[in-house]
Amino acid sequence: MSNQDRMEAALPAIRALQKRAADLEARQARQHEPIAVVSMACRLPGGIDTPEGFWELLAAGGDAVGGLPSRWRGLDLYDPDPEAVGKSYSQEGGFLEGVEGFDAAFFGISPREAVSMDPQQRLVLETSWEALERAGVRPGALSESRTGVYLGTMSSDYGDLGRDLEALDGYVSTGKASSVVSGRVSYTLGLQGPAITVDTACSSSLVSVHLAVQALRQGECELALAGGVTVMSAPSLFVEFSRLKGMAADGRCKSFSAAADGAGWAEGVGVLVLKRLSAAERDGDRVLAVIRGSAVNQDGRSQGLTAPNGPSQQRVIQAALDASRLSPADIDAIEAHGTGTSLGDPIEAGALAEVFGPGRSEDRPVWLGSSKSNIGHAQAAAGVVGVIKMVLALQHGLLPKTLHAEEPSPLVDWEGSGLALLTEARAWERDGERPRRAGVSSFGLSGTNAHVVLEEPPVAEASAESVAGPVPVPVVVSGLGEGAVRESAGRWASWLETRPGAGLVDVAVTAARHRTHFEHRASIAAEDMSGLVEALRALAAGEAHDAVVTGTAQRRGRWCSSIPGRVRSGSAWDANCSRPVPCSARRSRLVMRR
């Protein structure tokens, strides 16, 4: 056989090896591909129901901790004596008001079933819907898609319903089941990716984000909802931690402060919409931030089941950096667990110092903070709240101050640690061409720890508005009833008044293509933004306006939106709008209370 014959005979094997090598390289690249955060939604203490509202609180150095919720009214709960049985020596915390309100019909749920649903299930339905709409995704379009749901939660004290046998109506078991927190979102929206509820205590939502990142990289889903929720329907946790003397009497987390005296409990819900960065760029999504890497580990046998473990925290942070293909020098800031305890905070700071301190220049410390000082410890939702905070900080170029920490803890060896506490807000600017990056930590009472590394998004190409001159553009709002249409118009107007850079075509495209259109509708023909806001305000007030047409859509036929000019995916509406805040799934006045 000639050499040429041998070469021709070997070609199929060579091609097969080349294909295998290319496949392996692609697989390895996919395992490290950044994950895009394309949307966020939240409900937090202080009446906060949007990320924008959360940022206003953070930027102002606000404190959202307040008195006990109205749903506990009538309970003889408070006693300043920590030894008092069945009492709480703290009567403040970070609470969500109005959690009883729920528009069951909006989600196709009967009032009877809704009454038996834990408010945590109701809240994640609302917030997931809103997060999708903010991403420019019509929730109804995801039916039968490989969309995953990863949500963290802890125990359901709404399950106390089960103690009354006569109250069992066939819906209580699913209404209080933690598995249904994620499963109900998938069921309601028809999602066919994994639906996983995570309970690792305080780290639940950050572990959920980690699992979603892994699933996207492994191709288990194409889009993922990730986050967590905590609602305290009963004051059990307050009573329990009073006996342990583990709460701050004033209900405030004094993270890394000399005044740290215990955790302050809070409620909250946060949901992220995640995609592979390549998919987000392909689809023209606005990328708020990217997740470079994440890691999860366990303390194992340590000083105690609930005691924090410094070496384990070091390992999970280093593992997240390794997964991100970054070094400690690449990180600018850390959103810490920072519960405000005299035991946990020094251990956490010590672990951070071990990772980030060696070789760190004194003029470029890792800036340390915690949003728990603003809203309290939201437990299963705490990790995702930290992610939302740091994404907002990246967007605004500002690291918010940590409250109640005028005097840093003397139990932390700050000198030479490479750390600096954010006792004041600080501008967060780029250092040359290096992207800004931050880590977010969350450590569970169960011993399960999580860390996520965030990076600012790639710079997007700007594009100009496609409409020249005063051409009327239709903007559509809708709702299940006339009142819902007016409320939606009011939210649009409020949002636009704070966004002078938003483009009219951006808003029109968002409203027409990226919102679910309900039966009751209104169309506003506007030539400029001021005219649009004026007409929206009139619609919200129920007043007549020449630019506004209202009506009820018929089921036959299709609604058509005619928008002058050409708008491509990835154009100005992506860069400027991020698909504005006003969304359809908002809490109704209908009260669902057992």
Q: Which residues are catalytic?
A: 202, 337, 377
Region of 424 on the Ramachandran plot (φ > 0 left; ψ -120 to 50 alpha; else beta) = beta
Q: What tokens appear for 396 in the block?
A: 């605004």
Cα angle for residues 388, 392, 397 (degrees, 5° grid):
150
As a whole number of angstroms, the distance between CA 181 and CA 48 comes to 22
* Residue 143 β-bridge partners: none
Tell me, what DSSP letter sits at residue 436? Answer: P
Q: How crowded is residue 85: how many other Cβ atoms within 10 Å of its Cβ? A: 9
As a whole number of angstroms, the distance between CA 56 and CA 500 comes to 17
Cβ–Cβ < 8 Å for 487, 540: yes
Classified as helix, coil or strand, 35 is: strand
Alpha-carbon distances of 325 from 34, 40, 260, 355, 578, rounded to whole Å: 11, 26, 35, 15, 29
As a whole number of angstroms, the distance between CA 451 and CA 550 comes to 49
Q: Is the dihedral of CA 98, 99, 105, 110 positive or negative?
A: negative
Q: How crowded is residue 558: how many other Cβ atoms within 10 Å of its Cβ? A: 5
SS3 content of the chain, % helix, strand, coil (to 5): 40, 20, 45
Q: What tokens appear for 467 in the block?
A: 């409409």
Name the CA dihedral angle for 542, 544, 546, 551, rounded to a multiple of 10 degrees.
60
Kind and range of the H or E run holding 122? helix 119-134
Tell me, what DSSP letter sits at residue 166? Answer: G
As a whole number of angstroms, the distance between CA 495 and CA 500 comes to 10
Cβ–Cβ < 8 Å for 210, 296: yes
Q: How crowded is residue 223: how many other Cβ atoms within 10 Å of its Cβ? A: 25
